[in-house]
Amino acid sequence: MNQLTETGIPIYSLKEISMTGNSLFEILDMKGQYAQLPTVFLSPHRRDYYFLALIKQGCSRHWIDMVPYTLKPDTFYFTVPHQVHVKEKSVPSIGKIICFTDEFLAIEENALLKQLPIIQNLHNGHELELTDENIIFIEDLILKMQAEHAQKQDWRNGMLLSYLRVLLIYLSRLYKEQYEGEDLSTDRLLLKKFRQLIEEQHTELHDVAAYADQLNISAGHLGEVIKQQSGKTAIEIIHERLVLEAQRLLFHTELSIKEIAWQLGFEDASYFNRFFKRLIADTPMNYRKQSRNMYH
């Protein structure tokens, strides 16, 4: 059964969509039939697993965090567990799908995979453009994974994880080229760690000093580095993440403004209203109404 979270957006597990009942890893051929699988995906939802898809044919339209995407051939799509999905309609597609959970990644003891850019997805991305060379490499690797998955021999998970490790490293290189475009310096790494902490704790921690403490540096130094590396202040980045989650909840749920404020760690709904209006130039209630009119 899916989990209906306190935010009102259901979370679906990998086991619920798996053709084999596997709760950790699944690999599928899309030959038109997968698009007819769970109709629940036509409603707003989150998934508790990572989703990778190599699309060969298809033109269906879907939304990730209120951003619309129309599938393009020879493109790689990916999502991570915290994002909110909606499919507009179920259209047959041709390609390959790989799904896996944090538990599957945890099989690798050194935790390298959790640190890869494609997994952390700090830029909240969703698609990668592929060259012919990229497609050949990825398709060959996925075919090897499918063959291993079908054999069900000893140490299958270890083999699958090894193939997945190569795939994720390869995709992370593409991710860096298309979303970052440069090697990470010490200061750039600090920005990355700061964003990662915000992703994990934005509903509990709203002030720069709390994050600086966890990074074992002063709030002043953290602020200087973040401003230099991102062009934004540290508090602006914290507030942007809070606003994104607020927009998700306003758009996808029927929670009251007071309930949303509480979910995001605001004890006072009136303060949340002022906070939201200052950043979005509109009240939460008006934003909910206008955004839904725009997208539906």
Superfamily of domain 3-180: Regulatory protein AraC (2.60.120.280)
pLDDT tens profile 249-267: 888 888 899 999 999 999 8
| Residues above pLDDT 90, as percent of the chain | 37
**Which residue type is seen at 32?**
G
The residues spanned by each domain of the chain are 3-180, 186-295
For residues 11 and 101, the answer to whether their CB atoms sit within 8 Å is no
State how far the Cα of 272 lies from the Cα of 60, in Å rounded to an integer: 36
pLDDT tens profile 202-231: 999 999 999 999 999 999 999 999 998 888
Residue 296, pLDDT score: 52
State how far the Cα of 134 lies from the Cα of 54, in Å rounded to an integer: 11
Tell which residue, 248, 263, 240, 235, has the closest CA to residue 122: 240
DSSP 278: H
Tokens of 260: 């949303």
Residue 66, pLDDT score: 73
Most confident of 29-43, 182-196, 253-267, 279-293: 253-267
Q: Is the CA virtual torsion 152, 153, 154, 160 positive or negative?
A: negative
β-partners of residue 70 are 61
State how far the Cα of 176 lies from the Cα of 137, in Å rounded to an integer: 18
**CATH fold label, 186-295:** Arc Repressor Mutant, subunit A (1.10.10)
Residue that has been written with the tokens 């079908």 in this structure: 150
Q: What are the Cα distances from residue 46, in Å, to 38, 66, 234, 267?
A: 13, 13, 28, 25
β-partners of residue 230 are none
For residues 138 and 54, the answer to whether their CB atoms sit within 8 Å is yes
Q: What is the mean pLDDT of residues 48-61?
A: 85
- pLDDT above 80: residue 67: no
Task: Let me know if 152 is exposed, middle or buried by CB neighbors in 10 A (0-12, 13-18, 19+).
Answer: exposed
pTM above 0.75, yes or no: no
User: Are 3-180 and 186-295 equal in CATH topology?
Assistant: no
**Which residue type is seen at 208?**
V
pLDDT tens profile 85-136: 877 766 677 888 899 998 888 877 667 888 898 998 877 788 898 998 999 9
pLDDT tens profile 1-51: 455 444 578 888 888 777 666 778 888 888 765 444 455 566 788 888 999
Most confident of 1-5, 78-82, 256-260, 290-294: 256-260
What's the per-residue H, E or C state across 49-109?
CEEEEEEEECCCEEEECCEEEECCCCEEEEECCCCCEEECCCCCCEEEEEEECHHHHCCCC
Q: Count other C-beta atoms under 10 Å from residue 129's C-beta.
A: 12
Q: What are the Cα distances from residue 166, in Å, to 101, 218, 258?
A: 17, 38, 46
For residues 122 and 195, the answer to whether their CB atoms sit within 8 Å is yes
